[in-house]
Structure 1
């Protein structure tokens, strides 16, 4: 059996897709270890997960929530991800040696993984936790592309000056061996012809019951009502209160509908009887009952909804979310709103449209079929096992 080290940043949405893959690899008899922030990884992967600490500087990605465009990209890379890689690449390398790793599975934003792999001569694959990373978002802005490449080149020069395996800005960003895409071409569109080898595995969802226990009041659900699930993910609470309030006001007035809203910051009070507010929602079980989802176009939420044939109303906030939101619209599976300008009336109109027009449900079903047949965690495990076998033959 083989030994795998999963390298992840301290971001829930980037850890979640690999949790089911870790479960699958462990079930096949492999050793699976993590390099990341221990409390966060264990909260998602389970208290028994083997985690080797890789702790970055005390800066959270949520601090850039108010930024847009180039300012947001500059914050993400210059102030968060590159310093994180510099602070953790030694820890990742030490973890790889301790577990005698045959392969590193590195989230696309955990740049310490490729740095450690190239330095030690250990192969790595890229986990693309969002389809926004499968195409170069800076194709139309070559100056920004050069800025990012220069940033990557400087990181490589500082942290991996004498690699055992050649490392370039392109291979730092995407492994030349394999990119695990937790989506399908039905949603993301075809791969770039000159890109790295891509495995379209769809969302890697954990089996029911694998996550923590939840006290959701299932008896509250009315089978005769259309359930609308509302979530803005885990790091958007500081900017989400106004939008969530608009959703409460919008959905409270819809006859024949219920709404379950995730409100981790406790911003919502005095909600109508057909609206249920909880700090967190058991998303996967709840989606089996849902008729529509309102969200920020986070990749995990979008793919989870579509895998359950549920159409969406998407209001992207930042980062890759506008790209994913446009993919939803292009697939015909939902409606896009402007996050900062979404009023209760606009939210209500979009939800009514998505619920009332069969074309949105049919498009969601078409994308959902592709996501369900892509193979998920099992397919991802097959692909990384194949990379290890090929690397062994080469050695």
Structure 2
């Protein structure tokens, strides 16, 4: 039996992917402690783990971020990411570190499993490995790890090699360094108070200092890193059991529809349906598709009068819905995208803030969908993207290839095996050749799909 300490920022999209991992460790007999926000106590306890609330100064409700920081609205994506990193993730890190250190000191903790934006762990990882527990990152956002041809994280740009890529990335790196200067200054300020010295590198670039990274996707969805060490491991997404939501009374329409397009803004960024849901409804009103909306808790009445081809509910039975879904329209949450791809469903992404621009960029790069490059697409833009994805078979084929990779991935058992090797002192969490294909400079096979095959294309007719 091992002592496993999970640590996550108090954000729904960060806590949720860790819950099935925590349950896996509990089920196999490990003692699991979970440090995160107070409002997640019941969700954590349901896994069998022991919940420990973050100190009040490090706790917040991610549902109120927009109202607490109205100045975020209208910011360009990279500036919004820098703002979020400084105010939402970096400044609470001192209290995160204190709580984390106290738990490691006062309990039998063999390993810390953290989310990438729990920067208290970044400070903790500054200690010598001999003076701390191993730190394993659960990669529940796009991988922010150095590699050739990569633009700075937050730009939402695919890799670009050669001289042009070098020039592009050098210019962008200089601009990003200026934008993120307050973030790094805040991180060093926090680190000085916590451990008496600055971080050994930029706070966003702390992942190489972790003992291992278990990325919760498959290699075909992530940019190549030829120089990445064997400590970067892909375990595939680990989904919790879908909530047992009842079928709505109109469910037979889903089963009978020739083409089903599902759209949602998730359960957090859903207070303004004019961002994505309403443009989708309007853009597809005269299409042959059945548009299925999940409002995520927003009353359906808030959508107004619905066209005849639209069905809406606050929540839906997702496992059953995605078995009938031909295309998923989303604002780019990492977990939702992985869920869609696990069912072989291609996407149209209108990325919101946080890491969503990076998710959308990977959707386009992997060939699994279209990136609309805006949080507020027009109805015409959505209509065009949907027509493209539903009539060009290459998108579905790319999504199905990734679905096969996900089905073959190691999941929670593989993540646990990686953690066990780290606890045992193994120098590599998995043999380096395990992801030799990903550690190649060759382009992704999924992004080079042939669009000439028209079989299995159902379109909007």
TM-score class, shorter-chain normalisation, is: 0.7 to 0.9
Provide the alpha-carbon RMSD of the alignment: 2.9
* TM-score normalized with structure 2 length: 0.75
Give the Cα–Cα distance (whole angstroms) in 1 for the partners of residues 235 and 73 of structure 2.
Answer: 30
Pick closer, same or farther for the CA change 1:364–1:212 going to 2, 3 Å.
closer
Deviating more after overlay: 132-141 vs 289-298? 132-141
- Cα offset for 1:383? 0.7
- Cα offset for 1:84? 1.8
Which of 235, 255, 263 is 1:201 aligned to?
Answer: 235
Pick closer, same or farther for the CA change 1:336–1:40 going to 2, 3 Å.
same
Give the Cα–Cα distance (whole angstroms) in 1 for the partners of residues 247 and 106 of structure 2.
Answer: 41
Query: Does structure 2 conserve the Cα–Cα contact (< 8 Å) formed by 1:227 and 1:260?
Result: no
Where do 1:57-68 residues align within 5 Å? 58=60, 60=62, 61-62=65-66, 63=69, 64-68=72-76
Pick closer, same or farther for the CA change 1:391–1:265 going to 2, 3 Å.
same
* TM-score normalized with structure 1 length: 0.87
Does 2:39 match 1:5? Answer: no
Query: 1:42 matched to which residue of 2?
Result: 42
Pick closer, same or farther for the CA change 1:304–1:13 going to 2, 3 Å.
same
Where do 1:302-341 residues align within 5 Å? 302-340=337-375
Which of 339, 345, 355 is 2:390 aligned to?
Answer: 355
Where do 1:1-395 residues align within 5 Å? 1-40=1-40, 42-43=42-43, 46=46, 48-54=48-54, 55=56, 56=58, 58=60, 60=62, 61-62=65-66, 63=69, 64-116=72-124, 121-135=132-146, 136-137=152-153, 140-142=172-174, 144-145=176-177, 147=181, 148-161=183-196, 169=202, 172-191=206-225, 193-194=227-228, 197-206=231-240, 210-217=241-248, 218-266=251-299, 267-340=302-375, 342-390=377-425
- Cα offset for 1:116? 4.3
The alignment covers a number of residue pairs equal to: 387
Q: Give the 3-state SS of the residue equivalent to 2:262 in structure 1.
A: strand
Query: Does structure 2 conserve the Cα–Cα contact (< 8 Å) formed by 1:299 and 1:324?
Result: yes
Query: Does structure 1 conserve the Cα–Cα contact (< 8 Å) formed by 2:245 and 2:315?
Result: no
- Cα offset for 1:65? 5.0
String of CA shifts for 1:327-353, please: whole Å, max 9, x gaps.
111221111214355222221222122
Structure 1 gap ranges (5+): none
Q: Give the 3-state SS of the residue equivalent to 1:264 in structure 2.
A: coil
Q: Give the 3-state SS of the residue equivalent to 2:13 in structure 1.
A: helix
